[in-house]
Amino acid sequence: MSDQKIIILLPDGIGLRNFVFTDFSAIGTNKGLEVVYWNGTPFDLAAMGYREIKIENAKPHPLTTLYKNARQQIELDLNCQKTNDKTYNTYRFEQNNKGFKNKLKKILLNTIIQQHSSEKGLVKVRNKIHQKEKQTAFYNTCLNTLKKEKPDIVFCTNQRHTVSIAPILAAQSLGIPTVAFIFSWDNLPKATLVLETDYYCVWSAHMKKELQFYYPYIKEEQIFITGSPQFEPHFDANRKLSREVFFKNNALDLDKKYVCYSGDDITTCPDDPQYLADVAAAVKKLNQKGYNLGIIFRRCPVDFSTRYAAVLEHYKDIIVPLAPLWQNKGTHWGGVLPTKEDMDLQINTVAHSEMVLNLGSSMVFDFATNNKPCGYINYEVRNKVQKDWFVAHIYQYIHFRSMPSKEAVFWLHSAAEIEIKIQQILDQQPTAITDQAQQWFETINQHPAKDASKRIWQAITEICNK
């Protein structure tokens, strides 16, 4: 039996899906490792049977966020220069200019950016973040926690949260190896890396190349290709319900086949309700031809708006909304937390839908686990909610360049095409699309996809034994 202790740092709720609601902890425990969650979420992990250390009073230095934002802007500037590609400018955030404090922050931010707009300047900004965080009471609390716990490694579940900086710096100051997991397939081009750990776990060889390209100071031996645990539950037969049970639980019609429409947040797709209406109108026409179809609408978990209400009411005979079972602790990504129940809902929605339609969502990969096709919306609506928002901008994002072939999805270039394309998929079951989607999935996520947790634990064990 190993006496190695592994601390899993959960700075916020975004790591719950990967590292709490999967078999991740059980796999580590079965290897004889002591798994302890350093828990910055509102969830009571002890009540779920896990050992946890609650993170309390996690306050970064008042200037850390400012320097972190400056770092991101400088990195995006340098990426534009290095690649001669202006796409990186689309990842910039809007600076709040309302009120005296926000105006002052904007002035300070722009000053830092102007004074450090080079590779050497970027190093100074990174060092400044470290200096500031080591001055905080939270850093000292982290030191005391780690001295008491004496872990063999600290593994952070995402790379982008400022709250993680102090715990990671504290571990490094005590000689404890640190690891960061790159949370999402699109994170690295967006310059969201705020942690400088000893090692990194990435989704794929493709992501490894990205990490080395954007951060050349990270050496090859520091990177482990593991895949992401978020897809593992799709391969767990014990979590899948029969069609009869799932349909009964969610008031679905057993005589119908269902198309899943996966919604985006309001920033990503302000015209999403109109696209949902276009899909519903197409399904209505298909039903008039003798098809017996319905739509399962899974909205974005952080979208609690009423913007879909009119569409849902108008097409209530066609659309069944199955709202994500997330816990609302706020109205943004960090304040709305996933649950294990929602993972089961998503798994079964995928399993019992014929296809998914959306605007550029990673749900293409969830459906690929079940060998089912995805349709990407690619047209403008007439009465746009936001005049300066364009669909074309979405598919210009860097992460879509990982697509081996444009045929990995079927494209919806107009509202009129939706009916035709859905009918073609239902009638022909084109394997070319699902085969290309599978190839894309294997490009962005190491396969077998069901073994990501095992590979992460292999990496952790290797690091511990160095």
Task: Compute CA distances 459 → 9, 207, 314, whole Å.
Answer: 16, 16, 52
pLDDT in tens, 113-127: 999 999 999 999 999
The Cα–Cα gap between 332 and 14 comes to: 12
At 149, list the tokens: 């716990």
pTM for the full predicted model: 0.95
Q: Distance between CA atoms of 188 and 199, rounded to whole angstroms?
A: 15
| β-strand pairing of 178-181 with 199-202 | parallel
Relative orientation angle of helices 64-83 and 119-133, to the nearest 10 degrees:
160
Per residue in 395-436, pLDDT (tens digit) is: 999 999 999 999 999 999 999 999 999 999 999 977 999 999
State the chain's maximal CA–CA distance in angstroms: 70
Q: Specify whether the CB–CB gap between 142 and 167 falls below 8 A.
A: yes
Name the residue type at position 359.
L
Please check the confidence at residue 102 and state whether its pLDDT lies above 90: no
Residue 332 pLDDT > 80, yes or no? no
- Length of the chain, please? 466
Confidence at residue 336, expressed as pLDDT on a 0 to 100 scale: 75
Q: For the residues of 306-363, what is the DSSP string, one character each?
A: STTHHHHHHTTTTEEE-----EESSSSGGGEE--HHHHHHHHHHHHT-SEEEESS-TH
Q: Which residues contact 272 (CB under 8 A, 6 or more apart)?
A: 263, 264, 266, 307, 308, 359
* Alpha carbon distances (Å) from 39 to 52, 157, 163, 230, 321: 6, 11, 11, 19, 32
pLDDT, one tens digit per residue, over 201-225 is 999 999 999 999 999 999 999 999 9
Mutual orientation of helices 137-149 and 165-173 as an angle, nearest 10°? 50
Which 8-state DSSP code applies to residue 368?
A: H
Burial class, 125, CB count within 10 angstroms (exposed 0-12 / middle 13-18 / buried 19+): buried
What confidence category does residue 335 fall into, taking pLDDT thresholds of 50, 70 and 90? low
Q: Read off the pLDDT of residues 357-381 as tens digits, 9 standing for 90 and up.
A: 999 999 999 999 999 999 999 999 9
Residue 197, classed as helix, strand or coil, is coil
The values of phi and psi at residue 456, to 5°, are -65, -45
Q: For residue 334, what pLDDT band results from cuts at 50, 70 and 90?
A: low
Question: Which of these ranges, 206-210, 315-319, 329-333, has the smallest mean pLDDT?
Answer: 329-333
Count of beta carbons in the 10 Å neighbourhood of residue 333: 14
Domains of the chain: 5-60+136-228+449-464 (3.40.50.2000), 64-132 (no CATH), 232-444 (3.40.50.2000)
Backbone phi and psi for residue 306, each to the nearest 5 degrees, phi listed first: -100, 15
User: Per-residue pLDDT for 331 more than 60?
Assistant: no
Residue 269: predicted pLDDT = 94
- For the chain, give the percent of residues with pLDDT over 90: 87
| 8 A C-beta contact, residue 22 and residue 233 | yes
List, for residues 26-52, the tens digit of each pLDDT value.
Answer: 999 999 999 999 999 988 999 999 999
pLDDT surpasses 60 at 333: no
Work out the pLDDT band at 442, boundaries 50, 70, 90: very high
Q: What is the overall mean pLDDT for the chain?
A: 95
Q: Which of the four pLDDT bands, split at 50, 70 and 90, describes residue 327? A: confident
